[in-house]
Chain A
Amino acid sequence: MGAYASTETMDTFPLGSIESRIMDQARPATELDDIDGLVRTYRARILRFVTYSTGDPDLAETITQDTLLRAYRGRENFRGDCSVSTWLTGIAINVTRDHMRSVRFKFWKQVHASSLDVQEMASFLPGAESSPEHQMLAREKIAHLHEVLKELSPNQRTVFAMKFFEEIPVNEISEMLGMPVNTVRTHLHRALNAVRARMGDSQ
């Protein structure tokens, strides 16, 4: 399992176990030891990933907080054989799965589900100095891309976000999600086909 074993076994290793203490002694201080810095550096990134993965920004906030807390508490499990960002993404995936499995989540999802507001997000378009026409075209593109992502399955969206936002290589995505490389590749191909179908030649 290599780099991501730590994220999957985190819940099975009680904190303070002999293994953890040995690892803690051996582990040099990292940015994971500073929770304020961790939040400052990675919260927005995780929030975005989880928002795309779940399609629900409110739920994403909760998952993001849980992810950072779990990462901080289990920081001795970080072996440094992948980037902190990738490690956090792995934890976010596990936390998201936990939330999705819970009965309470299923109930809550039926009662209340917030969705990503495309117009709100489009208002954050960079390059305010560009022409109004250019801005309008860019907004349209963002809206189209969001429509595409919305129609993808949760797995496809997660894989898409991991690949194109987090820039995680396909083989690592495969390891993190426990999916064969070809399945990851198929998810990405479907996502790209959907983008192509919606955006036409402009993509």
Chain B
Amino acid sequence: MTNTIGHHLSTEALDDVLIGMGTAESESHLAACAQCRARVQAFGANLQLLDETSMAWSRVRAAGMAEMPVPTRARRRPLATMGWTAAGLAALALALPVWQGVHQHIDHARLGAAPQVTATEPDSAAQIAADNKLLEEIDAAVNSNEASPFGVILRTDRQAARHRAQPQ
């Protein structure tokens, strides 16, 4: 490919120089040819003008932009991190016994057995006698024919209502 038209660089060769892909032949021509060098410099001057103007515009525009939503993860919030960690640990401390209780209940229900209670000492004879007495009293109270105060109230109300309903 020839890089020159007549005594000067072709447009393509000149553009290659401008984009930084000029051949050694083009570069040596530029070094010797003032006219071609002037064309490159004219383009460079226009680009520099655009570069400076656009950068000045951009600086002003960027200065007016909203604050960056700075990631706060690692910045000046160690207390917040500690707080969240403490809250998490507290929740775990509360949740663990509940979880254990639920699982124990589920296990016993599945096995059909009462929860195992680890007895430390056997009940004394006196304790057994007292328990039996209590159970007898409860049994007597449940089976007695004595009217309960609630029953009295209800019966009284019903009788009164019946009395009101009957004509004199």
Query: How many A-B pairs with Cβ below 8 Å?
Result: 101
Contact A202 B42 (CB under 8 A): yes
Contact among B21, B46, B51, B71 for A199, CB-based, below 8 A: B46
Could you tell me the dominant secondary structure of chain A's interface residues?
helix
Does A91 count as interface, using CB distance less than 8 angstroms? Answer: no
Count of chain B residues with a beta carbon within 8 Å of a chain A beta carbon? 34
Q: Contacts of B25 on A, CB cut-off 8 Å?
A: none
Considering the chains assembled together, what is the distance between the CA atoms of A17 and B126 in angstroms?
A: 68
Contact among B19, B49, B58, B75 for A44, CB-based, below 8 A: B58
Considering the chains assembled together, what is the distance between the CA atoms of A35 and B59 in angstroms?
A: 17
Contact B54 A52 (CB under 8 A): yes
Does B86 count as interface, using CB distance less than 8 angstroms? Answer: no
Task: Report the nearest B residue to A188, measured CB to CB.
Answer: B19
Contact B47 A44 (CB under 8 A): no
Count of chain A residues with a beta carbon within 8 Å of a chain B beta carbon? 43
Q: Contacts of A163 on B, CB cut-off 8 Å?
A: 19-20
Q: Contacts of B70 on A, CB cut-off 8 Å?
A: 35-36
Q: Contacts of A145 on B, CB cut-off 8 Å?
A: 46, 50
- Contacts A126-B56, A169-B20 hold; do A68 and B46 have CB atoms under 8 A apart? no
Q: Can you list 10 contacts pairing A with B, beta carbon distance less than 8 Å?
A: A48-B54, A65-B69, A69-B71, A121-B54, A121-B57, A124-B57, A165-B54, A170-B20, A170-B21, A195-B43
